Amino acid sequence: MHENHPRTLACNVDALAEFGYLKDFPELLFRLIHGADVRKVAKAGVEDDKVRRKAKALAQQREGLRARLAGRKRARELAPEPAKATFGDFLSAALSKFGKGKPVEVETAPVAVEEPKPEAMEVDPEKTAIKPRRMSKKVRKVAKLAVQSLETYYGDRAYRFLFDAVAEFFAALLASDLEQLAPKGKKRKIGLAAKWCPTPGSSFDRTTLLCEAIARRLFPRDSDPELAQLSDDHYTYQALRSLRREVLVPLRKVLELPEVYMRAQRWPELPYNRVASMAMRRYKFLFKKHDEARFDKYLEDVEDGKAKILAGALLPQEIAAAAYRGEDDNVSELQWRRMVDDLRSKGSLRNCISVYDVSGSMNGTPMEVCVALGVLTSELSEEPWAGKVITFSSTPEIHLIKGKTLAKKMAFVKRMQWNMSTNFQAVFDQILRTAVNARLAPEKMIRTVFVYSDMEFNEASGHSGGGYYGYGSRRSSGSWDTDYNVICKKFRDAGYGDVVRQIIFWNLRDSKSTPVTSTQPGVAMVSGFSKNFLKIFLQNDGVVNPEAIMMQAIAGDEYQKLTVYD
């Protein structure tokens, strides 16, 4: 957008902030200076440095061991053979043992002291002169970053326009929040501008010089006679000092940010109920290390319903990451429970069931998302579907997920059997059989079957022209229509004719096919994985069709505030 519509981007900064985080703008400026892939390059460089340091340390260990062994061998070769003991040696040893040894007189030779020569007393002024200190590597790096930022600012008009807009935006937000700190202000209305504004001297500030621009807007020269008399360098210093002490520190104190308490080593004062979900996930091990008793008590209170834990900003697979690795983690368990309770209170994904593809080709993000969403939908379902999933197989079966902890549930799902394709008609037969046996009312019947795989729908359903991975033969591609009509007839005959039967088929791998299509009756197909789509998926009760996706994406009030300028 900056490349093609720079004016539109800069003029919509306040509206665009509602789509993400305020921290996105300093990050955007940083990437415009250093390149779009600077983070990826830096991460790769860190990994390379780790490998290089590890290899160097290993080589040094080997070299040191080799040198020690060679030294020992050389010492053995050069060591003289010990002389044979004589009768006198034995006699001396015996006399010394009984204290009868003859005292030995040692004559000390006089040491001559040389007087210093006159020419040696002369001082060389060139050697004693004070030499200018060399700039340290860190200072040179900071200076280089500042120069690069200034060159971009003065050399790129589009960047300068965006930079000024971001600085004005942060300054306005901080000024508004300061008004709420007044005695008659409402502290609850204080936003997160102080949290995401770079701290003077931080990496973002050294790279973009954004703090100076914000400070100059909050504390202009004409706002104080004392500032007007200062030199430009001293004025900049005072403005940055005021930004830190008079704006960021008091606002962050009100926000009770965990980073503030952690930096000051004030662990006993840290309010865990105010810790955001992402911060809790990132810092839980530090909380456990520095404040174990209070942190454990807080988790116990959450479990007993006496306290709350935040989970809204995390996706299912992010919360379940530790459990997916087989780790029993109290924080993940409680955040998972909070997410399930929030979705259940909204009535989301109630009459749904999942079909798992846990084959080896699903390893990575597809498997993590598949397992997390499958366990989630099973816990949101009502009886008799609660806690149940269906295997991805030509002979699918309904299984009850076993395990009390999230880690054990995920381990159970990953061990489920799988096949090269699944028989969707048999899937609905299993659902219908369970409903009839339980004499289920139509309103409690499964309405949506979620299928998570890394295959296309035709491959998974057995309707593609060739075999998957070269195995077996397939039916004609048009036979799904026949299958769907048969499924509908069976449901009508059993008294569930008004129940909508739909398959949401989600190919979690990247695909060149159309992400969402409505060409197949009773099927909505999604290809590829993105966090934004998963959020829409959860917010929209799993309803997936082209129009719903488009309307969900553009229906928000925040889109009405956007204006095109170029």
**DSSP one-letter string for 15-75:** HHGGGS-TTHHHHHHHHHHH-TTHHHHHHHHHHHHHHHHHHHHHHHHHHHHHHHHHHHHHH
Q: Higher-confidence residue: 24 or 111? A: 24
The mean pLDDT value for 418-422 works out to: 63
* Under 8 Å between Cβ of 297 and 288: no
What's residue 464's pLDDT? 47
Using the structure block, give the residue that is written with the tokens 């704006």.
247
Q: Which domains does the chain have, with CATH numbers?
A: 6-40+139-255 (no CATH), 268-346 (no CATH), 349-559 (3.40.50)
Q: How far is Cα 340 from Cα 372, in angstroms, rounded to an integer?
A: 12
What's residue 13's pLDDT? 83
* Band (245; pLDDT cuts 50, 70, 90): very high
Check pLDDT > 60 for residue 346.
Answer: yes
The mean pLDDT value for 162-166 works out to: 91
* Band (546; pLDDT cuts 50, 70, 90): low
The mean pLDDT value for 255-265 works out to: 84
What's residue 216's pLDDT? 92
- 306-310, 345-349, 465-469 — most confident range: 306-310
The mean pLDDT value for 26-43 works out to: 84
- 125-134, 513-522, 556-565 — most confident range: 556-565
What's residue 171's pLDDT? 92
What's residue 455's pLDDT? 59
Check pLDDT > 60 for residue 510.
Answer: no
Check pLDDT > 60 for residue 37.
Answer: yes
Exposure of 100 in the CB half-sphere (CA atoms within 13 A): 6
Check pLDDT > 50 for residue 167.
Answer: yes
The mean pLDDT value for 151-158 works out to: 89
Q: Higher-confidence residue: 39 or 85? A: 39
The average confidence (pLDDT) of the chain is: 77
**Angle ∠(92,98,101) on CA atoms, nearest 5:** 45
Report the relative pairing of strands 352-356 and 398-400 from DSSP bridges: unpaired
Check pLDDT > 80 for residue 404.
Answer: yes
What's residue 241's pLDDT? 92
First vs last C-alpha separation in the chain: 11
Check pLDDT > 60 for residue 520.
Answer: no
pLDDT over 90, % of the chain: 6
Q: How far is Cα 306 from Cα 344, in angstroms, rounded to an integer?
A: 20
* pTM of the predicted structure, to 2 decimals: 0.63
What's residue 126's pLDDT? 62
* CB within 8 Å of 158: residues ≥ 6 apart: 2, 6, 7, 10
* Band (436; pLDDT cuts 50, 70, 90): confident
Q: Higher-confidence residue: 255 or 532? A: 255
* Under 8 Å between Cβ of 281 and 307: no
What's residue 472's pLDDT? 38
Sheet (strand 523-527) strand order:
398-400, 388-391, 352-356, 448-453, 502-507, 523-527
pLDDT over 70, % of the chain: 73
Check pLDDT > 50 for residue 88.
Answer: yes
User: How confident is the model over 114-153, as pLDDT tens digits?
Assistant: 665 665 556 566 655 666 667 777 788 888 888 888 888 8
Q: Higher-confidence residue: 519 or 177? A: 177
What's residue 316's pLDDT? 83
* Band (214; pLDDT cuts 50, 70, 90): very high
Task: For residue 549, give the nearest of 511, 522, 517, 509 by alpha carbon.
Answer: 517
Listed range (108-117, 264-273, 342-351, 532-541) with the worst mean pLDDT: 108-117
* Band (530; pLDDT cuts 50, 70, 90): low
* Band (467; pLDDT cuts 50, 70, 90): very low
Distance of CA 284 to the CA centre of its chain: 13
The mean pLDDT value for 303-307 works out to: 83
User: Measured on CA atoms in the order 248, 251, 254, 257, is the torsion positive or negative?
Assistant: negative
